[in-house]
Amino acid sequence: MLILGIESSCDETGVALYDQERGLLAHALHSQVAMHRDYGGVVPELASRDHVRRLVPLLRKALAESGRSLCEVGAIAYTQGPGLAGALLVGAAFAEALAASLGVPTVPVHHLEGHLLSPLLSARPPRFPFVALLVSGGHTQLMRVSGVGDYELLGETLDDAAGEAFDKTAKLLGLGYPGGPALSALAERGKPEAVKLPRPMLNSGDLMFSFSGLKTAVLTRVREPVPDAQGCADIARGFQDAIVEVLVKKSFAALKASGLKQLVVAGGVGANRELRRRLDAGAERRGITVYYPEFEFCTDNGAMIALAGALRLESGAVPKTAGAFAVRPRWPLAEVSG
Ligand code: KG4
Ligand code: ZN
């Protein structure tokens, strides 16, 4: 069956076509980064309006690329939450209306489930069960993934998400939005150990995280004396090293506690090169295999939503719609388990 996937939870509009037999056929993406940059962050109302403008052209593009036609679509998967309410509503309304007109079912997808399953799009996918480190702009979680819809939360952040910490710290350093990629590029030029920042909850003995204190630590460093260009790079390096060390240590602790040998890294921060370097180095020593989604599937995209929809259909466990056009801006992942 051909599944159309729609993603519109935040500032990226994603459309993809996934064939249950042949895999991903096409995906089209529009990032709103340039539009939000002037405001220093995502403006929800502008995001919703832009999703409205982009969906139809992206769908046309994906269809053309796949060589398939709309009438071949057998189901439509869309992000029902969590995310920005208005932005989610655009995708949900589009998907539900299109599905009604085609006479096909819809599959509401949890955005984080899309991220969790996205490494399955690779040529060399992991096998269930595995541990997943989910590091995005809104979430930082360690999960045990035993199968489609079978997720156990092992630990999460008590305050800021890893991506949020990157974005807020980037702002303090005068870097633009989105801050994560800019901050990590700056960190590559920083001297190791020049700026030593705290490693929050590194030795807490559990799998919880806390990142809000780190940005406060950075704040005191950028105030006085005001750092020069190299000083900023050193702070960025110190920040990145701190956050990466905590993420790496807790990921290996989660693997050890669960006795599993596969780690999946998903979400935007999974694109961070230093995180990848350190995970790979530690994994080799421990006989662990780390799986990353392709770079293009690390951040938000329609392909992971189409895939999650396809796997949900195969497993026969399609989550209940919260009612046509209803979205769930706040939606704990634990509720979709079992
Ligand atoms: O998964 P994602 O696209 O959106 C959410 O669902 O949140 O993740 C976006 C987050 C942003 O906070 C962004 O700054 C961060 O991922 N990010 C990075 C990098 N690339 C994206 N953080 C650190 N290093 C990167 N290279
Ligand atoms: Zn995301």
Q: Which atom of ligand 1 is nearest to the CA of 267?
A: 1
Fold of 128-292: Nucleotidyltransferase; domain 5 (3.30.420)
- Give me ligand 2 centre to Cα 285, in Å: 30
Find, among 282, 299, 290, the residue nearest to 130 by Cα: 290
Q: Which atom of ligand 1 is nearest to the CA of 184?
A: 24
Ion ligand 2, residue ranges at CB < 5 A: 136, 300
Residues in the chain: 338
- Of the ligands numbered here, which is closest to the C-alpha atom of 135? 1
Nearest CA to ligand 1 atom 24: 272
- Give me ligand 2 centre to Cα 134, in Å: 9
- Give me ligand 1 centre to Cα 289, in Å: 22
Domain with CATH 3.30.420.40 in the chain: 2-117+297-335, 128-292
**Mean pLDDT, 10 residues at a time, the chain of 338 residues:** 97 97 97 91 94 98 98 97 96 96 95 94 94 94 96 96 95 89 96 94 96 92 86 97 98 97 95 96 96 89 98 84 72 84
Q: Which atom of ligand 1 is nearest to the CA of 180?
A: 14
Fold of 2-117+297-335: Nucleotidyltransferase; domain 5 (3.30.420)
pLDDT of residue 324: 58
- Residues with beta carbon inside 6 Å of ligand 1? 10, 136-138, 163, 166-167, 178-181, 184, 267-269, 271-272, 299-300
How far apart are alpha carbons 126 and 261 in whole angstroms?
10
How far apart are alpha carbons 180 and 142 in whole angstroms?
20
pLDDT of residue 217: 93
Q: Which atom of ligand 1 is nearest to the CA of 167?
A: 14
- Give me ligand 2 centre to Cα 299, in Å: 6
- Of the ligands numbered here, which is closest to the C-alpha atom of 29? 1
pLDDT of residue 335: 87
